Chain A
Amino acid sequence: MFANWPWLSLLIWLPILGAIPVLLAGDKRPGAARAIAFGVAVLTFIVSLAMLSGFNHAVADALARSAPDLGLLKNMYLQENVLWIEALNVRYHLGVDGISVALVLLTTFTSVLVIILGWGSVDEKVSQYMAAMLVLEGLMVGVFCALDALLFYVFFEGMLIPMFILIGIWGGARRVYATLKFFIYTFFGSIFMLVGLLYLYFKTGTFELAELAQVSLSAQEQAWLFFAFLIAFAVKVPMWPVHTWLPDAHVEAPTGGSVVLAAIMLKIGGYGFIRFSLPIVPDASTEFAWLVIAMSLIAVVYVGYVALVQEDMKKLIAYSSIAHMGFVTLGIFISLALARGGNANGAAIGIQGAMVQMISHGFISGAMFASVGVLYDRLHTRMIRDYGGVVNPMPRFATFFVLFAMANCGLPGTSGFVGEFWVILAAFQYNPVVGALAAFTLIIGAAYTLWLVKRVIFGDVANDKVAQLQDMNARETFVLATLAVAVLLFGLWPQPLGNLMDAPIAELVKHIVISKGA
């Protein structure tokens, strides 16, 4: 009975409209603002769970009825399709497949935690902070649900405004520089994608993603479009060499902003590759796969080394994020090459791995930034040298931190292992050298993460301030414990996640094998 509800619209607009009462509560009543924001976020999360059940029902229904083959749209459920702009044939077309569902759930889940995190650490302009977070949440859900390229673009760009404000107002000392860099970098990336989409519109007269995936394009057109998409999504992921905005943005952003940035926003880049580059320009993507693979390898190896020398905890985790996201792009483009080589199984494993890596990185990096936030709230420094022996005053915190650090190195049993393992598996089928290089990074990952743990958590108590640290309160414990459960759950039992995404990934692999040269 719930299958016909506009679940996705609800998920997008509930937080955005929920921001209005939060703003009306005003900065003078921070308690009310926090409570309303928390309520809205929790409600959105509950709605997203209901959406999941509606989605599962719809899938079961469709399987029972053996629905007609609609190509890439086949696995899109809970669709809402309304004409938005008649003159341009732009549609308000939403829909989710397993890939989107996973990311939408990650978004709503993380947003609740972020609101809780902001409860204590944000004291200034509370209502504006909470409202910006909620608007951001709605827009991010929109990005993952949009099936119309222009609608996608509107959400994709609209997201920049709240994030710009979040970093700029509640950020650290160099926040203005960081937020301007963030905005201009991302805008730079995406506007070329817009030109590319407009060119596609000229060719097809539609912005529907499913139809854009069917149009035939010459090799030259594909190459241009490929690079337009590559700039947009590579900046977002971010891939080496356009990653430099990320460490700045992360370091200066407030804890909540960092968590959202790492856990969700970076995923939009990987998601974009899967939704745009692969289906629309498969030939050019294959042709230039070597380039992306090389960039990804540089990200995992070189950026891993860069992470090793960082003295700022947030910067270290930011670089580690770049390295981990390198696995995502590596997995996606290796799969493409494998699929073209006739190895559909290997290809499916690669994309699966990339997706699992995205979800798992959402939890782990979010948890790492939240942990740093816990320390920062106490000592107001992010420098590694100011800490040491934190385990003594904060044993509970240390437990969680070590767990997340292990997950960050990809220890089996944590979610970090699953995705990386699958990607490396696919990489070996593609080319043993690439596989070996990718595997090698696990060692670097372990090196910088464990060294960080050694310097911050273990050893002698560094100074009096550290000795007087209070362990986490219930609120902080709740956030980290929830994340810990998620990390362990998907590490020990990744099957549900795999099941969710099997069908759309199989369909995607089938689609990208077919050349669409004109």
Chain B
Amino acid sequence: MISLNDILTLLPESFLTVAICALLLLDLFLKPAQRSVTHYLSIVALAVTGWLVLQHFGTPTAFGGMFVRDGIASILKVFVLLTSALVFVYARPYLRDRGLFVGEYYVLCLFAVLGMMLLISAGNLVMVYLGLELLALSSYALVALNRDSPLSSEAALKYFVLGALASGLLLYGMSMIYGATGSLDLVTIHKAAAEGTQRGLLLFGLVFVVVGLAFKFGAAPFHMWLPDVYQGAPTAVTAFIGSAPKLAAFGMAYRLLESGLDGVGGHWQLMLALLAVLSLAIGNIAAIMQSNLKRMLAYSTISHVGFLFLGLVNGQPEGYAAAMFYAISYALTAAVAFGLILLLSRAGFEAEEIDDYKGLGQRAPWYAFLMALTMFSLAGVPPLFGFFGKLLVLKAVAVPGTLWLAIAGAVFAIIGIYYYLRIVKVMYFDDPAEGAAAIVKPADAPMRAVISINALALLVLGVTWGPLYGWCARALGITP
């Protein structure tokens, strides 16, 4: 029986659904020249949804526990909506230059956002799967948005095939868990897992669930799709799938592992520890060799996923709060990084090779400065935002028992610093290449303003990250 409470609890999601459908219809009647209306309305829809998320209408759970609305969900949703809106602003000039400025981009992105919100709030395995697939299917289509580009189509196909495989694994694991516990409800599973009935079957399912998760996160050794997709997709799409979904992935991991399978924590913690170290190693080392910036950022994502997993390894609230903070800092930083690639590209010039950034410090000092901030933040140099994410994660594992993970994280952070510095080096210490890339086109005003604020926020949040972490910590029930 659907009650009023259920609807109120789901109000942000319901509103977004209605808004998407309305946009889809409206877009049909718009001439290409009026496409900006779709653009601005999408951002308004995201803003209103964000406002609704913060209003806390309704009850903590809805639809018989299918849907959970707690502090974690609210924080993650707010940042999913924020990063998506940022990406929309950054993507517009790029899409327009390439004839990709179509309503589908916005509608697909918004559907993906909806999927993420459902995934973050999932209280039931079915809900997890539904949210995930809504996100994944929209992403496949988005990657293929530029259908005339063979690279883009290839990436989409690869993404689709491997993503489907991952979904299959996840679903298989879920069926095992259902077999072991007799329920799809995460609370019931939690209880059953703690009681230890059907241990063997449960662990069997757990392995598949963790593999499915690792696949979606892009953690090594299940990362093969990620570099190709990041490089092949139009940059406007890479910016989207490279930022907000990391928040959703954290939400999914939290729901499945903590809310659901906490009882067998010792087992998945070891798996995550191995995945984390492997991701840190492969991501950081492979990134060194890349000459394409998008591909380099893809490998850097893999290494950041490794760091994020480090936060989950101990299964402690402090670790979850650190991982959540890390995901937020990563999403905001990645948005700037891809945003700057979008900003510097123009029709016929993708600005995605590292060599394209030669001498940017002379050609466009302000953008070079923003890019340098982003790179130092990703590298984890204080006082930038990214450092404090790393700090919190390292703090979570720098305890007896997992100290080796902290040391591994530190070692790979050192290796990682090299390729971020290389970007700074290319921008500031190399002379501009002759000819084509010498001119930076003037970006459109809203984008310039937003990206500047976004990048400077990395510096400001580096000094005033206390309240944000406090928010994350309180959501996980930590009292300082």
Contacts and interface: CB of A to CB of B under 8 A. Distances in A.
Contacts of A150: 391
Contacts of A192: 407, 410
Given A180-B425, A195-B394, A85 B466 contact: yes
Contact of A201 (B395, B414, B429, B469): B395
A154 B470 contact: no
A379 interface: no
Interface in B380-397: 381-383, 387, 391-392, 394-395
Contacts of B425: 168, 176, 179-180
A87 interface: yes
A491 to B, nearest CB: 38
Contact of B421 (A157, A164, A194, A201): A164
A175 B429 contact: yes
Contacts of B159: none
A10 interface: no
Contacts of B473: 87
B48 to A, nearest CB: 31
B470 A86 contact: yes
Interface residues of B, number: 32
Contact of A187 (B361, B398, B414): B414
Given A168-B428, A188-B414, A198-B406, A84 B395 contact: no
A84 B466 contact: yes
A505 B403 CA distance: 34
Contacts of A168: 424-425, 428-429
A184 B418 contact: yes
B383 A158 contact: yes
B466 A86 contact: yes
B417 A195 contact: no
Interface in B252-274: none
Contacts of B424: 164, 168
Interface residues of A, number: 34
A176 B394 CA distance: 30
A52 to B, nearest CB: 27
A187 B395 CA distance: 18
B81 to A, nearest CB: 24
Interface in A151-200: 153-154, 157-158, 160-161, 164-165, 168-169, 175-176, 179-180, 183-184, 187-188, 191-192, 194-195, 198-199
A315 B80 CA distance: 53
Contact of B382 (A85, A158, A176, A184): A158
B382 A157 contact: yes
A88 interface: yes
Nearest to A197: B398
A175 B430 CA distance: 11
Interface in B352-380: 361, 376
5 shortest interchain CB distances as A-B pairs: A198-B398, A85-B466, A154-B382, A191-B410, A168-B429
Interface of B: 361, 376, 381-383, 387, 391-392, 394-395, 398-399, 403, 406-407, 410, 413-414, 417-418, 421, 424-425, 428-429, 465-466, 469-470, 473, 478, 480
